[in-house]
């Protein structure tokens, strides 16, 4: 603890001190100076440097209540000083960025995009949009933190109320109930309860009842369930009849769970629309664009079918839009379960960056090099063996002789044949492009493209799998122990209810559930520590060197076993009632979590199918459609159909004029122009270029959809990475097969 005592009023001194969560390795709680939020520290630092920025400023009512709720030591002058500083700094950085981009990149980008309008829009609009978003994010950061607390409240409210109700059933004392809940609970609610007790003890609040009323109304806008439940718990104290008090407390918990279940059902129903948006945005939109962009560009002055535009649309705009949308939906997900967090130094994990195959171990980066080398070499060899070259095509068509170099060829053909001249190495007419686009003449290096795609997907998959699969296995074992623990806790409580000591209760549970992980990994080790090493119950569980829970990542089990230790000290009868109540609380929480999983099961199943099957199949077909569209445009540009249409329209117009009907414009056809410029079509993305762009997009959209699906099902980044590793190769192979089959059929 800091030796220096800060200057100021007693209230400021008390507000700067907070109680940390229980440290299982110590016998006492610790006190430490409160760690301020980085946002608050930034505003304070700016105000200290530029105090004039915060002069004559005040919070509005909504922002004031938000700051008070978050308990930030942030004055209005400091907040607005930081806000104004960000505005001024943002304007300066935006101006410098635009100036540099305009001076150095505009000529290059103009050449790439084919015109100066689009690069100019991005050069000016991009930094300005980022500036506006940055300012908005800074301004609304306190409100976002408040909304986050609303989401977390759905997790921590039932837990805190469960602890309070357990304590109230044993001893109808509000102070003891708050102390019990704050010491075992988690989240901001537990921190507020600790602060409440502190303020009562030092005299800032006159009584616990007064403090609870203030806390209830403080949390009223965040969680109406918590507000109503606190008021009911307080009212139960004055109930003389124990049975009626129990009834009030049980009804309180039931009402809270019912309210939370209603919110979860509302959230689950609302997920159908985001799922459809993800489908339209990530899969249907690319399919539509491949028809709209080439046709629209061919009949207008736009260049949206050029490779640079397709890269911008397919590989930047759409993926970023999908990712932003996915993150927004994920942030609104109610958190009903927090999975175990596995540290990198967990003893059940292999050495860092190591993958284990039976008794064989290999560094993951060495494996990546080996796999990458094999796949790249295989694709190059396959292309060299089975792929077509322009030389082979010209030789088979009889335009050159064996051993003759292509540059020596000189041919003159009709518009339906190949035209190649040594003096004109670049083809200019549409018939030549048609020739090379024919399946029998196609020299696209498909084996190299598909091999590169497989290489990228397999390397990403191996990396994510190798980095996370072992953590996932530890996590799965921990989650299995959590499921077993709910039953084990009931067995322990039953034995304690027979006035048996805790050691005998643990031993009975171990024998009753002999094949369970919780019995083998926790209870057996705890009993060994008690019997062999002579440790007491708390040390046998939480000792930093020998404790049975030393490397246990489950917050649920750690909290529950701490509850066992604390309740046993009050007697086996009290412990039995406490653990029985806690067992019911765990079952209620588990029921809520499983209910949400069940409600969104159909949606997550659809999204999983979308990522693994629908997206690669649809996008594979898209590559074939692009060839059809481009072939059609090439045919039109090399024929006289547009000139004939224009003449027909003009003839109709002249006939109408001669008949005295006035000028006629048939559907605006005359506005289409007399032809499609072949040189413009030549600038559009080729089939090879488009295939590469879509192949990269497949990898991007599969990763985004799998991440989105996993995180709305369970906020578990380890599971998300493992699922991406498992899904990506399947989707990639399916995309390749669909592309090959589509090209063959069409």
Can you tell me the mean pLDDT for 330-349? 87
Q: What would the mean pLDDT of 48-60 be, rounded to a whole number?
A: 87
- Reduced to 3 states, what is the DSSP secondary structure of residue 387? coil
39: its two tokens: 């946002």
Main-chain phi, psi angles of 23, to 5 degrees: -95, 110
- Label residue 350 by pLDDT band (50, 70, 90): very high
Whether residue 13 has pLDDT greater than 70: no
Give the span between the Cα atoms of 558 and 24, in whole angstroms.
9
Q: Range with the lowest mean pLDDT among 8-22, 115-129, 453-467, 672-686?
A: 8-22
CA angle 119, 120, 124 (to 5 degrees): 115
pTM to 2 decimal places: 0.80
Q: Convert the pLDDT of each residue in 660-683 to its tens digit.
A: 545 444 444 444 444 566 667 777
**pLDDT for the residue numbered 434:** 56
DSSP E strand boundaries for 448-523? none
**Residue position matching structure tokens 């991005």:** 122
Residue 31 above 70 pLDDT?
A: no
pLDDT digits (tens, 9 = 90+) for 379-423: 999 888 887 777 777 777 666 667 666 655 444 344 444 444 444
Give the largest CA-CA distance in the chain. 115
pLDDT-above-70 percentage for the chain: 83
Categorize the per-residue pLDDT at 433 as very low, low, confident or very high, splitting at 50, 70 and 90.
low
pLDDT of residue 154: 72
Nearest to 318 by CA among 704, 606, 734: 704
pLDDT for residue 205 = 83
Per-residue pLDDT, averaged over 358-375, amounts to 93
Q: What are phi and psi of 19, to 5 degrees?
A: -95, 125
Does 545 score more than 80 pLDDT? yes
Helix, strand, coil percent content, the chain, rounded in steps of 5: 75, 0, 25
pLDDT tens digits, 191-223: 888 888 888 888 888 888 888 888 888 888 778
Does the structure show a pLDDT above 50 at 522? yes
Query: Tens of pLDDT along 592-613?
Result: 888 888 888 888 888 888 888 9
486 Cβ contact partners less than 8 Å away, ≥ 6 residues apart: 583, 586, 587, 590
d(CA 204, CA 219): 19
> How far is it, in rounded angstroms, from Cα 88 to Cα 662?
62
Residue of 26 and 436 predicted with greater confidence: 436
With 90 as the cut, is the pLDDT of residue 571 above it?
no
Distance from C-alpha of 484 to C-alpha of 473, rounded to nearest angstrom: 17
């Amino acid at each position: 603890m800091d030796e220096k005592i800060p200057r100021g009023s007693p209230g400021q001194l008390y507000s700067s001190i907070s109680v940390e969560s229980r440290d299982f390795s110590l016998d006492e709680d610790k006190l430490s100076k409160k760690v301020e939020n980085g946002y608050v520290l930034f505003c304070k630092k700016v105000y200290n440097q530029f105090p004039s920025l915060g002069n004559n400023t005040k919070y509005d009512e909504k922002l004031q209540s938000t700051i008070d709720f978050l308990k930030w030591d942030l004055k209005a002058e400091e907040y607005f000083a930081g806000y104004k500083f960000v505005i001024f700094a943002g304007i300066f950085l935006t101006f410098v960025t635009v100036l540099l981009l305009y001076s150095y990149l505009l000529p290059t980008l103009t050449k790439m995009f084919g015109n100066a309008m689009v690069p100019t829009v991005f050069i000016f609009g991009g930094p300005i949009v980022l500036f506006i978003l940055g300012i908005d994010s800074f301004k609304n950061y306190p409100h976002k933190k408040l909304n986050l607390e609303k989401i977390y409240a759905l997790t921590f409210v039932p837990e805190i109320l469960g602890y309070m109700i357990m304590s109230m059933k044993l001893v109808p004392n509000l102070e003891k109930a708050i102390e019990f809940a704050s010491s075992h609970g988690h989240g901001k609610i537990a921190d507020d309860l600790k602060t409440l007790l502190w303020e009562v003890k030092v005299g800032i609040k006159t009584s616990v009842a007064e403090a609870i009323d203030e806390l209830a109304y403080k949390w009223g806008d965040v969680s109406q369930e918590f507000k109503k439940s606190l008021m009911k718990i307080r009212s139960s104290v004055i109930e003389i009849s124990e049975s009626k008090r129990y009834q009030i407390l049980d009804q309180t918990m039931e009402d809270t769970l019912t309210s939370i279940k209603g919110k979860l059902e509302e959230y689950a129903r609302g997920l159908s629309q985001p799922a459809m948006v993800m489908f339209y945005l990530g899969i249907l939109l690319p399919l539509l664009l491949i028809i709209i962009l080439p046709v629209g560009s061919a009949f207008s002055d736009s260049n949206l079918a050029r490779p640079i535009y397709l890269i911008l649309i397919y590989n930047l705009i759409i993926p970023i839009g999908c990712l932003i949308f996915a993150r927004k939906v994920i942030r609104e997900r109610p958190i009903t379960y927090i999975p175990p967090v596995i540290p990198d130094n967990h003893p059940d994990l292999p050495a860092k960056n190591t993958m284990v195959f039976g008794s064989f171990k290999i560094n993951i980066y060495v494996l990546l090099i080996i796999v990458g080398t094999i796949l790249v070499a295989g694709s190059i060899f396959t292309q060299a063996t089975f792929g077509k070259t322009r030389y082979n095509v010209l030789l088979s068509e009889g335009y050159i002789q064996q051993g003759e170099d292509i540059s020596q060829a000189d041919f003159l053909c009709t518009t339906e044949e190949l035209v190649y001249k040594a003096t004109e190495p670049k083809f200019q007419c549409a018939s030549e492009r048609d020739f090379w686009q024919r399946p029998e003449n196609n020299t696209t290096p498909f084996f190299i493209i598909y091999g590169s795609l497989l290489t990228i997907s397999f390397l990403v998959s191996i990396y994510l799998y190798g980095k996370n699969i072992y953590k996932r296995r530890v996590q799965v074992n921990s989650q299995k122990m959590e499921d077993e623990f709910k039953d084990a806790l009931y067995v322990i409580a039953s034995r304690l209810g027979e006035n048996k000591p805790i050691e005998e209760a643990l031993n009975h549970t171990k024998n009753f559930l002999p094949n369970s992980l919780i019995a083998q990994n926790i209870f057996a080790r705890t009993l060994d520590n008690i019997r062999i090493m002579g440790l007491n119950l708390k040390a046998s569980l939480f000792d930093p060197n020998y404790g049975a829970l030393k490397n246990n990542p489950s917050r649920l089990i750690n909290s529950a076993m701490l509850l066992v230790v604390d309740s046993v000290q009050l007697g086996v009868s009290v412990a039995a009632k406490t653990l029985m109540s806690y067992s019911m609380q765990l079952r209620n929480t588990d029921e809520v979590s499983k209910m949400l999983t069940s409600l969104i099961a159909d949606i997550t199943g659809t999204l999983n199918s979308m990522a693994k099957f629908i997206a690669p199949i649809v996008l594979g077909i898209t590559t074939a459609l692009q060839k059809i569209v481009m072939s059609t445009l090439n045919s039109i540009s090399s024929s006289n159909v547009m000139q004939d249409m224009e003449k027909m329209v003009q003839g109709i117009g002249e006939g109408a004029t001669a008949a005295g009907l006035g000028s006629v414009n048939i559907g605006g056809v005359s506005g289409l122009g007399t032809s499609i410029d072949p040189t413009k079509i030549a600038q559009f993305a080729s089939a090879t270029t488009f295939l590469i762009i879509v192949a990269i997009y497949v990898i991007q959209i599969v990763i985004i959809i799998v991440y989105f699906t996993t995180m709305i099902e369970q906020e578990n980044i380890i599971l998300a990475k493992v699922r991406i590793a498992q899904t990506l190769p399947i989707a990639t192979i399916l995309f390749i097969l669909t592309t090959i089959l589509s090209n063959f059929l069409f």
